[in-house]
Amino acid sequence: MKHYLQINDLDSLQQTVQEAIELKKEPTQFKKLGAGKTICLLFFNNSLRTRLSTQKAAINLGLDTIVMNFGSEGWQLEFEEGAVMDQGKAEHVKEAAQVVSQYADIVAIRAFAGLTDKEADEAELVLNAFKKYANIPVVNMESSVGHPLQALADAITLEENKTAQKPKVVLSWAPHPRALPHAVANSFVAMMKLQDADFVITHPEGYELNPEVTKGCKIVHDQEEALKNANFVYVKNWSNYQDYGQVKNTDSNWMMTKEKLGKAKFMHCLPVRRNVVVEDAVMDSDQSLCMEQANNRTFAAQVVLKQLLKDL
């Protein structure tokens, strides 16, 4: 693997999941693999789980880590080819990306969708510029349209908790007061397409994800029907895709409740708004896998870094 920009960059999801589960048994068993190598974590946006778990994964692999909040600590970047840089942007990403790659062996980047310009978001300006101009592997720590480390942690969690060979997994939209990106949902869908599962997406009409992402997926607008006999329910808000970045629906009937959940396991990437996205009774029950998902973030990051280090 050369970069980890999306879940499909993995040679094999199933093998990677197994490798992560092995790593988890003894997290420091590959401590020598990263010795003498440096990873640089660049944050263009806030982060809790990604920030800590990726650092922890790097520590477990013996990597030296440099963390930088690019927005507040660095320079504002220009992405346009041929720009006359006489405004606020002090550095072109061409230079920034190449320079960073001189000081590190791997670079991991978090850069959220702006949610105002669909085309710009889908162009993945930051990630693709680093892929193009940096000379080292690039890891996606959540970009405009994907969050493949989360999806990998979700896959590990599903594998560890499934009781049927082919479980029913439902991705259920939830209301939220603010406009959120599509990254987590997109990557979850992409990951589910690689799974042997009965996968259903449910959301209000008009809340379709990018049709290219959900191509071939079963979509049901009746949440109750979608949830029937589910083994796992993954709840997530996303803002409108067609009316890009708009909050068109905050219908609290779409909140996940213990009653709706039935006997299914509950999943969410966190942070989660209690009693808006999901009620306390679900979060505080044994059916919630959120903490396992968060814990698996370390091993998702670690298995990805391990694969990248092996191919360096």
Q: Is 21 in the site for its own copies (CB under 8 A)?
A: no
Q: Is 38 in the site for its own copies (CB under 8 A)?
A: yes
Q: Which of 99, 228, 242, 312 binds its own copies (CB under 8 A)?
A: 99
Strand order in the sheet with 106-110: 64-69, 38-43, 106-110, 138-140
Distance (Å, whole) CA 253 – CA 239: 17
Q: Is 304 in the site for its own copies (CB under 8 A)?
A: no
Residue 307: left (phi > 0), alpha (psi -120 to 50), or beta?
Answer: alpha
Q: Which of 7, 10, 17, 40 binds its own copies (CB under 8 A)?
A: 40
> For residues 196 and 280, which CB has a smaller minimum distance to its own copies in the complex?
280
Residue 182 counted as an annotated binding residue:
no
- 260 to 289, contacts with its own copies by CB under 8 A? 270-276, 280, 283
Q: Is 24 in the site for its own copies (CB under 8 A)?
A: no
Q: Which of 11, 25, 26, 87 binds its own copies (CB under 8 A)?
A: 87
List the one residue out of 278, 39, 25 whose CA is nearest residue 172: 278
Residue 178 counted as an annotated binding residue:
no
Contact assessment for residue 145 and residue 125, using Cβ atoms and an 8 Å cutoff: no
Site map for its own copies, 104-123, x if CB under 8 A? x-------------------
Q: Is 128 in the site for its own copies (CB under 8 A)?
A: no
End-to-end CA distance of the chain: 9
Q: Is 312 in the site for its own copies (CB under 8 A)?
A: no
Residue with tokens 């942007």: 89
Q: Which of 102, 163, 165, 253 binds its own copies (CB under 8 A)?
A: 102
Contacting positions for its own copies (CB under 8 A)? 28, 36, 38, 40, 43, 46-49, 51-53, 55-56, 59, 64, 66, 68-69, 72-75, 78, 82-87, 90-92, 94-96, 98-100, 102-104, 177, 270-276, 280, 283, 290-291, 294-295, 298
Which residues fall in the annotated binding site? 47-50, 75, 110, 142, 147-150, 176, 236, 269-270, 273, 297
Which residues fall in the annotated binding site for N(2)-succinyl-L-ornithine? 142, 176, 236, 273
